[in-house]
Amino acid sequence: MERFLGVFASDHRRLACAVARAWTGFPPSDPAFRGRMGLGTYGGDEVLLMRRPVGPDVQGDAWIGPAPGNHALFAMDDTQQIRFTPETTAPWRYRNLLGVFALGAVPDPGFGDRVRTMIPEFMAREARNEPPEALAFRLVLSVLHDMGRLDARTIPSDSLAEALRTAIRMWPRASGEDGAPVPGMAACVTDGRSLVAGATGLPLYVWPSDSIPDCARCSEPARSKDHDPIRVRHDDLRMVVVAGGDVEPWNPGFRPLADGAVAVVDETGAFRVRSPVS
């Protein structure tokens, strides 16, 4: 199963610091792990994507460039039996939207056909031969299309949250035949201005924080030769971390998100949770 990490930092200059703080338990601990990882972030209005084969010692903050945005999405999975190709490695992108998804099981063979009947025709044509996680992203895009928001330059955080919440409600119909077990799904989506995350049938953890009291990145001698304690404290940095898929919470700050609920980091950086609805 794929694992993913979504990170928001209120100060884009400290995004790498937030990633470093969140990173500790994200990569698999198995020293023999070999897999693939993708990063999606922003530089101004540009979407930046990086996808590579990785091992267990990969450091996410090293992937963050010198002028990042406020949001980063990481996705990682075990590809020992899969030939690496960037095109089939998350995060998934549509224009300025990025998404990472984890599925509890591989949907049945009819999954792709069902999804293609639930999304606009132009998307169905584009979605041929896409992996299941990318098809799950298409459900969110189709809801935004129905809202008239898909081509908007900016998408209000409430609209993005409602699109994900609606896609979660659509998931049982898309992922299984009537009466068949429904595989779990967890997701995190951002447009570079806000970030939303939710899940059904899989755990999803959120960790909001108002500061980094002792930044491991800034305390490295190469970055802070005088070891000034002020430089390793980021008291005004608000960060939100989302972890889903094949992960266990590795920091006491994580708390589980209710099934069907949606966590939202809005355009101002405020964090809230929208309750599930029937």
Record the pTM.
Answer: 0.93
pLDDT of residue 85: 86
Q: Show the domains of the chain with their CATH numbers.
A: 3-104+183-274 (3.60.20.10)
Judge whether residue 70 has pLDDT over 70.
Answer: yes
pLDDT of residue 276: 86
Average pLDDT over residues 219-226: 59
Bridge partners for 9 per DSSP: 239
Average pLDDT over residues 94-107: 92
Query: Over pLDDT 90: what percentage of the chain?
Result: 68
Burial-class residue 277 by CB neighbours within 10 Å (0-12, 13-18, 19+). exposed
Question: Residue 41 and residue 75: Cα distance in Å, rounded?
Answer: 12
pLDDT of residue 35: 92
pLDDT band at 229 (very low <50, low <70, confident <90, very high): low
Count CB-CB contacts under 10 A for residue 64. 25
Asked whether 149 and 163 are in contact (CB, 8 A), the reply is: yes
Question: Would the CA dihedral through 105, 109, 114, 119 be positive or negative?
Answer: positive
pLDDT band at 228 (very low <50, low <70, confident <90, very high): low
pLDDT of residue 137: 97
pLDDT of residue 256: 97
Per-residue pLDDT of 48-62, as tens digits, reads: 999 999 999 999 999
Per-residue pLDDT of 129-163, as tens digits, reads: 899 999 999 999 999 999 999 999 899 999 999 99
DSSP character at residue 226: T
